[in-house]
């Protein structure tokens, strides 16, 4: 071995130090992977960058951790979406009230949409309502059909969670689905002085479209769901994890929506960040 060390022009001590570093790196990598796997237990399809942001390791930045996770097979691949859940009303009686709007607080604009989930041998339908400013899911419901009852239940949940006094003047934005033109649904909005806004294109409802994908693909499709009752239980769990724990890139310091709402409410209005809702370049 002395001849080999001499041929390589390295010392025995340097070789042993190198081997020790490799062993430490392997142990460190294993510990990081275990932390990432623990996060994926609750958030099955959380992206590598978000996971890396939640893991702190001295001497390793987010990019290095993300690269390690990608090497170990943590990359997320989303399946295509072929189902249609929107049966649009041909005549839209309501204008788009949110295009170009500047928002500085919660309870100003919510978006809502319907999506589907294939369970066992049938489709179930999910409704979400999201506060655009904080990205907090404030209403949700699951149903066996596309009737408006699920939308009504989600809307009632939002009003109960936020409080009737806080939703007055709020803008409720949706697509032109028949559920949102339902007489009972429109009456509930009117009774609480909630303004009605509707879009003409899917991208005009982008905030809630993103929530649909996140809850379905990052959470629900990884759970053991056999019936509507178990779907509702897992949906409640997914919403709680999303609202309370999942970091959001667009929020201050990658806070979760619930953390961000508490943070915003501690600030005077003049110091709150501005959210400019999309404006179409005509």
With 80 as the cut, is the pLDDT of residue 26 above it? no
Distance CA 272, CA 54 (A): 24
* 172/110 Cα distance (integer angstroms): 5
Mind giving me the DSSP string for 208-253? HHHHHHHHHHHTGGGS---SHHHHHHHHHHHHHHHHHT---TTSGG
The domain ranges of the chain are: 2-71, 102-276
Give the Cα separation of 107 and 162 in Å (integer): 8
Instruction: Determine the CATH number of domain 102-276.
Output: 3.30.420.10
Name the more confident of 38 and 216: 216
Q: Where is pLDDT greater, at 132 or 148? A: 132
Residue 80 pLDDT > 60:
no
pLDDT of residue 7: 47
**Confidence band (pLDDT; 50, 70, 90) for 63?**
confident
Which pLDDT band, with edges at 50, 70 and 90, does 12 fall under? Answer: low
Range name among 39-43, 167-171, 246-250 with the lowest pLDDT average:
39-43
Q: What is the chain's mean pLDDT, rounded?
A: 81
- Tell me the pairing of strands 171-174 and 109-119: parallel
Structure tokens given for 53: 């942001």
Task: Check residues 175 and 76 and name the one with the higher pLDDT.
Answer: 175
- At 45 the pLDDT is 63
pLDDT digits (tens, 9 = 90+) for 203-245: 788 888 889 989 998 899 888 998 999 999 999 999 999 999 9
């Amino acid at each position: 071995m002395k001849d080999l060390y001499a041929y390589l022009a390295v010392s025995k001590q340097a070789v042993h130090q190198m081997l020790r570093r490799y062993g430490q790196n392997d142990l460190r990598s294993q510990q990081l992977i275990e932390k990432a796997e623990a996060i994926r237990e609750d958030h099955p399809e959380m992206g590598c960058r978000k996971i890396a942001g939640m893991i702190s390791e001295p001497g390793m930045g987010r990019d290095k951790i993300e690269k390690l996770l990608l090497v170990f097979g943590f990359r997320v691949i989303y399946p295509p979406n072929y189902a249609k859940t929107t049966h649009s009303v041909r005549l839209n009686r309501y204008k788009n009230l949110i295009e170009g709007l500047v928002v500085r607080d919660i309870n100003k604009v919510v978006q809502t949409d319907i999506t589907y989930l294939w369970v066992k041998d049938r489709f179930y339908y999910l409704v979400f309502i999201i506060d655009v400013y904080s990205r907090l899911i404030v209403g949700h419901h699951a149903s066996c059909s596309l009737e408006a009852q699920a939308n009504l239940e989600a809307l009632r949940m939002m009003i109960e969670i936020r409080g009737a006094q806080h939703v007055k003047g709020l803008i409720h934005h949706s697509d032109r689905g028949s559920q949102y033109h339902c007489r009972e649904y429109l009456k509930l909005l009117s009774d609480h002085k909630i303004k009605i806004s509707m879009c003409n294109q899917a991208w005009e409802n982008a905030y809630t479209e993103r929530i649909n994908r996140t809850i379905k693909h990052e959470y629900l499709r990884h759970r053991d769901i056999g019936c509507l009752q178990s779907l509702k239980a897992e949906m409640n769990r997914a919403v709680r994890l999303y609202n309370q724990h999942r970091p959001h890139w667009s929020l201050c310091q990658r806070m979760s929506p619930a953390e961000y709402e508490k943070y915003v409410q501690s600030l005077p209005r003049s110091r709150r960040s501005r959210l400019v809702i999309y404006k179409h370049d005509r």
